[in-house]
Amino acid sequence: MDISAGTQQPQQKADFPQGIPVASDASMSAWMSHVYQQQPMPNSFTGVPVQINVLDSNGNYRTIGTATTDSSGTFSLTWTPDIPGSYTVIANFAGTDGN
């Protein structure tokens, strides 16, 4: 989610009570017009890549894939663990040129 100062304005907080999803650099201009200028939601929103890593039950840290956020800011990845036990999931977002 975008946590810049502008996201804390009353109108943006009302329009996006769960936070403002981050848009890709390619979608940024149209998305910001939607968020801050009440323009229509863009038809071609593209989110940002999020690298999904795990710390497995053997203590191995590894990347299992990359997911892309949607216009609600959520992402998902289907994955089947290859060893039994508990896993810690770590999601990393590298940022955009707009950050």
Per DSSP, the residues of 35-78 read HHH-PPPPTT----EEEEEEE-TTS-EEEEEEEE--TTS-----
Residue 10 is predicted with a pLDDT of 92
pLDDT at 99 over 60: no
> Which whole number is the average pLDDT over 32-42?
92
How much is the average pLDDT of 37-60? 94
Going by pLDDT thresholds of 50, 70 and 90, the confidence category of residue 3 is confident
Instruction: State the pTM of this model.
Output: 0.80
The lowest-confidence range among 3-7, 9-13, 55-59, 90-94 is: 3-7
Residue 77, CA atoms < 13 Å, CB-side half-sphere: 19
Domain edges within the chain = 5-92
**pLDDT at res. 18:** 87
